Amino acid sequence: MASLRDIRRRIKSVKNTSQITKAMQMVAASKMRKAQQAALAGRPYAQILNRVLTTLRDRVDHALHPLLAHRENESRELVILLTTDKGLCGALNTNLCREAMNFDKERTDFISIGRKGTQFLARSGRNMLAEFPLRDQPTFLESRAVSKLAMEKFLSGAVDRVTVLFPLFVNTLSQVPTAMTLLPITSLAEMGFGEAADEAAAAKVDDSALLIEPDSRTVLDAILPYYVHFELYQMLLGARASEHSARMVAMKSATDNAKQLVKDLTLEYNKARQASITNEILEIATAQLALG
């Protein structure tokens, strides 16, 4: 049986750990709220962008536009992997990396955002094109650099499809690793804005006489990169929200476990203390008997 001092020491260290995890839980909770708000704030922008795009798509032969065109044989694929920089967020990164394993090693290039993903890709010997360190609250401009690189690769023909692998924020308790196609821009519903696309289809009737200035071609050329940049930005915000909520949940269970452990250890400590007292009394009593 461990000595009293050992147990006391363990209780103290577990308590310290639980204080840290508790603090991390609080921090993650407030960061999560912020990240969620940032993600939601982009909603109206996304809806209108979608509507405009749907209207334009029907007016221009979109097979012609390089960003919209499907390639016949998709030989190479580019995957943008969104992970976290820091650990202690449960199975979030593990799940993402497991998904990343499903891509064909020979035919897939990777762009990594987040240190954990970079480490994983390096370890498993994947072909990594670039790594972007992004701050906790990424700005539109920073995420633009990533989508721009992806677009260049796609347009130059180096890759035939760009997919983003990121943790989709379902709710605080559940984040699903999801692979979405960024390029070529396929159906809008597939991009995760099904409602907006339906709405746009319903509203299309009344803008049959639509003027487009300077002309639809120019506007489409200008708006499509916008769309891609924005899409990636949204996914990034979602990924950040997922990270913080995953960390919050992980830290909450760590705190709970630590509390349980302290309880068990305290019980053990008291038992040991009681045993030693009993022992002492026993010894005194025996000594008295021997003397008497």
Partner 1 sequence: MPLLLEIITPESKVFSEEVEAVVVPGSEGELGILPQHIGLLVQLEPGELRVQNRGEELHLAVGGGFVEVSADKVSVLTDMAIREDDIDESAAEEAMRRAEAAMRDEKLHGEEYASVQASLQKSLAQLKVKRRRGH
Under the criterion CB under 8 A, does residue 207 sit at the interface with partner 1? yes
Whichever of 141 and 289 has its CB closer to partner 1, that residue is 141
97 as an active site residue: the answer is no
Interaction of residue 145 with partner 1, rule CB under 8 A = yes
How does DSSP classify residue 1? Answer: -
Nearest approach in angstroms of CB 204 to partner 1 is 10
Stretch that binds partner 1, among 43-51, 106-114, 244-252, 278-286 (CB under 8 A): 43-51
Q: Give the SS3 label for residue 130.
A: strand
| Among 17, 29, 42, 217, interactor with partner 1 by CB under 8 A | 42
Measure Cα distances from 102 to 4, 75, 127, 249 in Å.
52, 16, 14, 27
Only one of the segments 39-47, 76-84, 97-105, 271-279 lies at the binding site for partner 1 (rule: CB under 8 A); that segment is: 39-47
148 touches partner 1 by CB under 8 A: yes
* Alpha-carbon gap, residue 202 to 186, rounded angstroms: 19
Rounded Cα distance between 154 and 159, Å, is: 5
Closer to partner 1 by CB, 202 or 209: give it. Answer: 209
Residue type at position 166? F
Nearest distance from residue 166's CB to partner 1, in Å? 17
Site string for partner 1, 208-247 (x = CB under 8 A): xxxxxxx-x-xx--xx--x---x--x--------------
Q: Is 33 in the site for partner 1 (CB under 8 A)?
A: no
92, burial (CB in 10 Å: exposed 0-12, middle 13-18, buried 19+): buried
Q: Answer yes or no whether residue 41 interacts with partner 1 by CB under 8 A.
A: yes
Which long-range contacts link 267-275 to residues 24+ away (Cβ below 8 Å)? 268/2, 268/7, 269/4, 269/7, 269/8, 269/11, 272/1, 272/2, 272/3, 272/4, 272/7, 273/4, 275/1
CA distance 253 to 90: 10
CB of 206 to partner 1, least distance (A): 7
The interface region with partner 1, picked from 44-52, 169-177, 247-255, 268-276 by CB under 8 A, is: 44-52
Element containing residue 174 per DSSP (H, E): strand 174-183
Q: Strands across the sheet with 127-132, in order? A: 127-132, 108-113, 77-82, 161-171, 174-183
What is the closest distance, in whole angstroms, from the C-beta atom of residue 38 to partner 1 in the complex?
7
Structure tokens that stand for 82 in this block? 């969104």
Q: Identify residues 55-114 at the interface with partner 1 (CB under 8 A).
A: 55-56
Min dist CB 141 to partner 1, Å, is: 6
Q: Are 138 and 237 in contact (CB under 8 A)?
A: yes
Can you tell me which of 7, 38, 96, 165 binds partner 1, judged by CB under 8 A? 38
Which stretch in 51-59, 125-133, 238-246, 284-292 sits in contact with partner 1 by CB under 8 A? 51-59
Question: What residues make contact with partner 1 under the rule CB under 8 A?
Answer: 38, 41-42, 44-45, 48-49, 51-52, 55-56, 140-141, 144-145, 148, 206-214, 216, 218-219, 222-223, 226, 230, 233
Catalytic residue IDs: 89
